[in-house]
């Protein structure tokens, strides 16, 4: 595959709230043709063509760290601008998670940009789900163009359970079909449970699709 970046100028704000895999995500987005700014400045979100919310770790810690940025992220999404959550960042787009309850920490409220909760795998398999898994595209969305049947890299113990089945864009199977890609009704807020920056050519396709979507907006 040609790895030369597309001929366009797309700016992406990569949210720095202390839990993201920023270096790998930056490299992946740059390979996809974006100019990346790692930032926790809401004004940078407003100036960017798209915002990426990465994440590695626990839901409670993620929401606590990102708490000061909640309003800016919500305003960005509600303005119809692209917001892309990765792994924990995707889970943070939902309303709640069982993770805090499971850890005895009580309920934690997510960004609530996609109504639903995150639930723990209850399967006769090793948890966390770690490794490569096949993507099955369930409906059209610009993010998943060209990746049906391809493999992506996952590391997670919880998965999204949106209230609206139409929020599920793609699934994978790990003893249960779970959402691998979700999006809101307007289509501008979306996330991947897998790490595109660790998913080889499949991930690069996803990131290029994101850059294309930002460019077209």
Active-site hit among 61, 76, 87, 129: 87
pLDDT tens-digit map of 57-68: 899 999 999 999
**Residue range 12-31: mean pLDDT, rounded:** 94
**Does residue 163 form part of some domain?**
yes
Q: For residue 93, what are its two tokens?
A: 């787009």
**Does residue 82 form part of some domain?**
yes
Contact status, residue 158 vs residue 119, Cβ threshold 8 Å: yes
- How far the first Cα of the chain sits from its last, in Å, is 26
With 0-12 / 13-18 / 19 or more C-beta atoms within 10 angstroms meaning exposed / middle / buried, residue 186 is exposed
Contact status, residue 162 vs residue 178, Cβ threshold 8 Å: no
Percent share of the chain, pLDDT over 70: 93
105 part of the active site? no
Task: Among 16-20, 42-46, 121-125, name the one with the lowest average pLDDT.
Answer: 16-20
CATH number at residue 93: 3.40.50.880
**Does residue 5 form part of some domain?**
no
Q: For residue 197, what are its two tokens?
A: 């920056």
**Does residue 58 form part of some domain?**
yes
pLDDT band (50, 70, 90) for residue 106: low
Instruction: Name the DSSP letter for residue 123.
Output: S
**Residue range 16-45: mean pLDDT, rounded:** 95
pLDDT tens-digit map of 189-200: 999 999 999 999
Gap between the Cα atoms of 217 and 215, Å rounded: 5
Instruction: With a cut of 60, say whether residue 4 has pLDDT above it.
Output: no
pLDDT band (50, 70, 90) for residue 101: low
| Three-state DSSP class for residue 199 | coil
Residues in the chain: 217
Contact status, residue 70 vs residue 37, Cβ threshold 8 Å: no
With 0-12 / 13-18 / 19 or more C-beta atoms within 10 angstroms meaning exposed / middle / buried, residue 167 is buried
**Does residue 94 form part of some domain?**
yes
pLDDT tens-digit map of 129-174: 999 999 999 999 999 999 999 999 999 999 999 999 999 999 999 9
**Does residue 6 form part of some domain?**
no
Q: Please, what is the average pLDDT of the chain? A: 93
**Does residue 23 form part of some domain?**
yes
Q: What pLDDT is recorded for position 7?
A: 53
Active-site hit among 61, 138, 150, 197: 197
Instruction: With a cut of 80, say whether residue 105 has pLDDT above it.
Output: no
**Does residue 144 form part of some domain?**
yes
DSSP 93-142: TSSEEHHHHHTT--------SS-EEEEE--SSS-SSEEEEEE-EE-S--G
pLDDT band (50, 70, 90) for residue 102: low
Count of structural domains, the chain: 1
216 part of the active site? no
Instruction: With a cut of 90, say whether residue 184 has pLDDT above it.
Output: yes
- For 169, the domain range is 11-216
195 part of the active site? yes
Q: What pLDDT is recorded for position 8?
A: 64
Instruction: With a cut of 50, say whether residue 6 has pLDDT above it.
Output: no
């Amino acid at each position: 595959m040609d790895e030369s970046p597309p001929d366009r100028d797309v700016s992406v704000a990569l949210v720095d709230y202390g839990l993201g895999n920023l270096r790998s995500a930056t490299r992946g987005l740059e390979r996809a043709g974006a100019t990346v700014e790692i930032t926790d400045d809401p004004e940078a979100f407003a100036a960017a063509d798209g915002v990426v919310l990465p994440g590695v770790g626990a839901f409670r810690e993620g929401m606590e760290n990102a708490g000061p940025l909640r309003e800016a992220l919500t305003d960005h999404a509600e303005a119809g601008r692209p917001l892309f959550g990765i792994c924990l960042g995707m889970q943070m787009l939902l309303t709640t998670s069982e993770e805090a309850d499971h850890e005895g920490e009580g309920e934690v409220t997510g960004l609530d940009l996609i109504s639903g909760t995150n639930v723990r795998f209850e399967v006769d398999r090793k948890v966390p789900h770690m490794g490569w898994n096949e993507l099955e595209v369930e409906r059209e969305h610009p993010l998943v163009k060209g990746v049906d049947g391809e493999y992506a890299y996952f590391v997670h113990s919880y998965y999204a359970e949106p209230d609206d089945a139409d929020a599920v864009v793609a699934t994978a199977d790990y003893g249960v079909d779970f959402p691998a890609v979700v999006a809101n009704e307007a289509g501008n807020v979306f996330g991947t449970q897998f790490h595109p920056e660790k998913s080889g050519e499949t991930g690069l396709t996803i990131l290029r699709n994101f850059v294309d979507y930002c460019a077209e907006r």
